[in-house]
Amino acid sequence: MGRSQTRSDFISRIVIICLFIVLFVIIMIPFYAVALSSFKPGESLVRYGLNLSLDFEIMSFDNFIYLFTGQHDYFVWFWNSMILTIAQVVLTLFVSAFVAYGFAAYDFKGKNFLFICVLLIMMVPFEILLVPLYSLINDLGMVNSYSAIILPGIANAATIFFFRQYLRSIPKEIIQSGRVDGANEYAIYFRLIMPIMKPSFAAMAILNGMNSWNNLLWPFMVLGDQSKYTLPIGLKTLLTPYGNNYDLLIVGSFFSIIPIFILFIAFQKYFIDGMTAGAVKG
């Protein structure tokens, strides 16, 4: 019995590991193909699409040289994305954590109702608000501004939810002791609570940063001015009905993933904490 048990364990182990290696290869193929294609001339992409052929005769660093020295707006988009992402993350985190503390630390009239509103935002597809929201920012004269991208999301429901869950595990005695020491409610939050929230700030900074860096639809609608385009919008405009600038597109796509990859490798734990927040109750 014992021996057949270990043998079947051994076979299961081989099967599982082989399966995961196959899945790993499938998942990596697109990355590999993009990395490979960024060394190939654009016309090869037009003719063959993405492929895995290692054709050293046509491969060169030309696309990379073009990316760094050519006449195009790529680094303007890159810079815009940086600025927008940083502004969005800082403001969203600051406001959402502030709000979450209100929900976690106090009992007040209307709290349940307001919290249901938080949950409602999480349940209604943002996309249905595209048209009225667009006409609203049009009326407010905010078209073409980064504030129109940032403002609607600064009290981000999912982020508030995460911070509130996190804050509920902080002992109420800290708040009490702050009051005994004569600190006012806001000083308690800013001096005592915010420092404790550091790990949750890291998790949410990374998740919000990733979403902001990758966001396409709403910024695409808001920004009409080319000089304000972000990276995803810029990459999208390289695909036109009249022809596609694959030379820049493919190497630009490849290059746009790299900052997030580096962040991910450095802060894996926070990515995963942020991602799985709220998935399981507790």
Partner 1 sequence: MIKKFVYSQKVAPYVFVLPFILIFLIFWFFPLVNSFVMSFQDRMLGQDPKWIGEANYSKLLTDKVFLTAIKNSVVYMLGTLVLLIPLPMLFAVMINSKLMMGREFFKSSFFLPALTSVAVAGTIFRLTFGEMEGSLMNSFLGLFGIDPIKFLKDGNWSMAALLILACWRWTGVNMLYYLSGLKSIDNEYYEAASIDGASAWQKFRTITMPLLKPTTVYVTTISVYAGLAMFTESLMMFNGNNSPKNIGLTIVGYLYRQGIEQNKLGYAAAVGIVLLVIAMVINLTQLKFSGMFKKEED
Question: How far apart (Å, rounded) are the C-alpha atoms in residues 67 and 251?
Answer: 7
CB 41, CB 248: distance < 8 Å = no
65: amino acid identity, one letter: I
Longest dimension (CA), the chain: 77
The reply to whether 29 sits near partner 1 by the rule CB under 8 A is yes
Question: How far apart (Å, rounded) are the C-alpha atoms in residues 100 and 162?
Answer: 8
Residues 125-184 contacting partner 1, CB under 8 A: 125-136, 138, 151-152, 154-155, 160, 184
Q: Which is nearer to partner 1, 145 or 253 (by Cβ)?
A: 253
Q: Which is nearer to partner 1, 13 or 172 (by Cβ)?
A: 13
Angle at 230 between CA 228 and CA 235, to 5 degrees: 120
**Burial code of 152-181, b = ≥16 C-beta within 10 A, e = fewer?**
bbbbbbbbbbbbbbbbeebeeeebeebeee
- In sequence order, the β-bridge partners of residue 244 are 239
What's the min distance (Å) between Cβ of 76 and partner 1? 16
Query: Residue 243: what are its φ and ψ, rounded to 5°?
Result: 135, 150
Residues 33-62 contacting partner 1, CB under 8 A: 33-34, 37, 45, 47-53
Residues 229-258 contacting partner 1, CB under 8 A: 231-233, 235-236, 239, 241, 244, 249-250, 253, 256-257
Q: Which is nearer to partner 1, 66 or 213 (by Cβ)?
A: 213
What's the min distance (Å) between Cβ of 146 and partner 1? 15
Of these, 61, 177, 186, 266, which contacts partner 1 (CB under 8 A)? 186
What's the min distance (Å) between Cβ of 208 and partner 1? 14
Residues 65-94 contacting partner 1, CB under 8 A: none
Name the segment binding partner 1 (CB under 8 A); options: 17-25, 63-71, 82-90, 197-205: 17-25
What's the min distance (Å) between Cβ of 70 and partner 1? 19
Site size toward partner 1 (CB under 8 A) is 97
CB 263, CB 85: distance < 8 Å = no
Sequential DSSP letters for 213-277: HH--HHHHHH---GGG--HHHHHHHHEETTEE-HHHHHHHHHHHHHHHHHHHHHTHHHHHHHHHT
Q: Which is nearer to partner 1, 65 or 217 (by Cβ)?
A: 217
Q: Which is nearer to partner 1, 71 or 265 (by Cβ)?
A: 265
What's the min distance (Å) between Cβ of 36 and partner 1? 10
Name the segment binding partner 1 (CB under 8 A); options: 64-72, 82-90, 196-204, 260-268: 260-268
Query: What's the distance, Cα to Cα, between the start and end of the chain in Å?
Result: 40
Name the segment binding partner 1 (CB under 8 A); options: 61-69, 82-90, 113-121, 197-205: 113-121
Site string for partner 1, 191-230 (x = CB under 8 A): -------------------x--xxxxx---x---------
282 is written with which tokens?
């507790």
Task: Using alpha carbons, select from 192, 28, 17 the residue that is nearest to residue 101.
Answer: 192
Name the segment binding partner 1 (CB under 8 A); options: 59-67, 82-90, 114-122, 195-203: 114-122
* Cβ-based burial of 212 (10 A; exposed 0-12, middle 13-18, buried ≥19): buried
